[in-house]
Chains A and B, each alone.
Chain A
Amino acid sequence: MKDMATTHTRDTIDMFVRTLIQDMGVDATEINDDANLEDLGLDSLDVVELSQGVKKQLSIPVAPGDFADVVTIADTVALIMTKADIA
């Protein structure tokens, strides 16, 4: 499973994050790089869900605590790329 993480690209991660946030019920038209997670109506519980989704489905080792400084969608993607060693 660890090898899988190295196959990810910015695009696949970006797409995954957008899909996951849409699955949480956020309107697709509101999701863009600069969108603030809080403005999208996502709270700390949603961020934990996001972290769990990335870990389980992309096998990238992120933890909820890693999201402490994340504000936007772009920040989210950047964090996950760092954790996947493809930053």
Chain B
Amino acid sequence: MKRRVVITGIGAVSPLGIGAQVLHENAVAGMSGIKGGKGLCCEFDGAQTLGRRENFRMDRFAQLAVVAAREALAQAGWGDTPPVAADRVPCIIGSAIGGLMTLEEEIEKMRIDGAAAVSPLTVPKLMANAAAAHISMRFGLRGETAAIVSACSGGAQAIVAALRAIRSGEADAAVAGGAEAATTPFTTAIFTTAGALSPTGTSVPFSAERDGFILSEGAGVLVLEAADVAESRGAIILGEIVGFGVRSDAHHITAPEPNGTCAAAAIQAALDDGDLIAEDIDYINAHGTGTKLNDATEIVALRAALGPAASTIPLSSSKSYLGHLLGAAGAVEAIATLLALRHRQLPPVYGLTQADPALGELTLLKASLSLSDEKPLHVGLSNSMGFGGHNVTLALRA
């Protein structure tokens, strides 16, 4: 029998504010964090929110991660040290790009002032594992620490890695999530020339007019614990990760496999892993980037895996009100899914008035929806897909 893995803490910094609860409340209230075609964490100031020393030594992506982790660990009731042996607590944080702002600044320094002017802190700041390393240092986590670098599914795969470590018995608890701060003019240019970014800055996922994704920043961190550990220490259990599926397209470096075969396989794997059937699913938090190709392929995959239920299960995309947090997306959206289930209130597809008829019959949420009180627990799926052909589905219950 699988060792059950529960969530005891969550933390988020997103364009909707600092805090996981704020994210949920604003999302279900029908608010959006997107301004001027970007999703920035406007309330977040590294020096003020975290500290001046940390601001000097860390790239913004790591700062966001540490603040999200601080919230998650506080909620879990972890003190200065974990409640289990520290070397049985891994810390896995996904990031698509890492410290891009640092990289850009230092290259500019070298161009203008020469090689000797380049900061020795450049690599410690930009390396994708910096977020995980800083969380490990700050909270004394001595299990495996690493970054999962798999583009826009990194945050979800970090959760999967942590889940596996606990299930296998190698770990008793874990800190997992994703962080990204790569909203520079440079990345804007790249995603624009790649044709992935919304040129209007007003793209609505699953609408006929969708024209790309919105570039955003943020971080999400979860504290996972073996259920036996959490229960024995009397922790408040926020929810459970009951299943996961990870599959790769083996198709193209950016385009999803058009039949959605592998995305469907990931969804099916998550159902199987969680002993679930399509009819058990109460909510789907789609990857839903708002690109023509992604949304169409994702719906094809959902239909292939879930059958007729794909038309009736309430569906929304957090990217409609947050934009695309790249490597942080999977973690922040897992948190959004958890809170939606926990509070029995599902967030809408922000801005959706009419769904793209080409996608077929779906239950896309144009407004926030309450879940029934009849069931004691609800199950939701959170999908993530990344450049490189990564497909990840998490099944959460709360």
Contact = CB atoms under 8 A, between A and B. Distances in A.
Contacts of A45: 120-121, 124
Interface of B: 47, 51-57, 113, 116-117, 119-121, 124
A29 to B, nearest CB: 13
A26 interface: yes
A56 B116 CA distance: 10
Contacts of B117: 52, 55-56
6 contacts: A25-B51, A25-B52, A25-B54, A41-B53, A45-B120, A52-B116
A33 B51 CA distance: 24
Interface residues of A, number: 12
Contacts of A44: 120
Given A45-B121, A56-B117, 8 more contacts: A24-B56, A25-B51, A25-B52, A25-B53, A25-B55, A44-B120, A48-B120, A52-B119
A66 interface: no
Q: Give the secondary structure class of A's interface.
A: helix
A12 B124 CA distance: 31
A52 B56 CA distance: 15
Contacts of B120: 44-45, 48-49
Nearest to B121: A45
A23 interface: yes
B124 A24 contact: no
Contacts of A52: 116-117, 119
Interface string A16-29: 00000001111000
B99 to A, nearest CB: 15
Given A23-B56, A24-B56, A25-B56, A49 B119 contact: yes
Contacts of B55: 25
B53 A26 contact: yes
Given A45-B124, A49-B119, A49-B121, A56 B113 contact: yes
A17 B247 CA distance: 54
A2 B251 CA distance: 59
Contacts of A25: 47, 51-57
Nearest to B118: A52
Interface in A44-62: 44-45, 48-49, 52, 55-56
Contacts of B47: 25
Given A45-B121, A45-B124, A49-B121, A24 B53 contact: yes
Contacts of B57: 25
Count chain A CB atoms within 10 A of each CB in B56, B117, B120, B121 and give the residue with the most.
Answer: B120
A65 B27 CA distance: 53
Contacts of B116: 52, 55
